[in-house]
């Protein structure tokens, strides 16, 4: 069943579309967010992909500015999901 995506998850979906990764990775991550919602495990996977050092001689772009933006989005998502859980108590 598709998850109801929070606004923060929708921002992460937009971010994933802007990152220069393969279409297969983008589609896998986007589908997972749409189906089950964003998770810490997925955040870790995307973060590892962003900080992976480019190989010598490769034309892989520097993704440091994407890493900074992604960290901000993840922190916003954490805060929103924690505050949502807090109001349920």
Query: Tens digit of pLDDT for each residue in 13-39?
Result: 999 999 988 899 999 999 999 999 999
pLDDT tier, 89 (very low <50, low <70, confident <90, very high otherwise): low
* Number of domain units in the chain: 1
Give the pLDDT of residue 59: 64
For residues 49-72, average pLDDT:
78
* Total residue length of the chain: 89
79 found inside a domain:
yes
Mean pLDDT across the chain: 85
Token pair belonging to 72 = 């901000």
28 found inside a domain:
no
Instruction: List the domain range (segments joined by +) for residue 68.
Output: 38-50+63-89
8 found inside a domain:
no
Q: How far is CA 87 from CA 1, 2, 81, 82, 83, in A?
A: 24, 23, 10, 9, 6
72 found inside a domain:
yes
Alpha helices in 5-39 (DSSP H): 7-18, 23-36
| Percentage helix, strand, coil for the chain under 3-state DSSP, each rounded to 5 | 70, 0, 30
Give the pLDDT of residue 28: 95
* CA dihedral angle for residue 35, residue 36, residue 38, residue 40, rounded to 10 degrees: -140
């Amino acid at each position: 069943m598709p998850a109801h995506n929070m606004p923060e998850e929708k921002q992460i979906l937009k971010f994933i579309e802007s990152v220069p990764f393969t279409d297969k990775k983008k589609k896998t991550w986007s589908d997972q967010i749409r189906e089950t919602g964003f998770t810490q495990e997925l955040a870790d996977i995307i973060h590892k992909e962003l900080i992976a050092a480019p190989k010598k001689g490769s034309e892989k772009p520097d993704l440091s500015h994407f890493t900074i933006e992604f960290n901000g989005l993840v922190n916003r998502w954490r805060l929103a999901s924690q505050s949502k859980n807090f109001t349920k108590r």
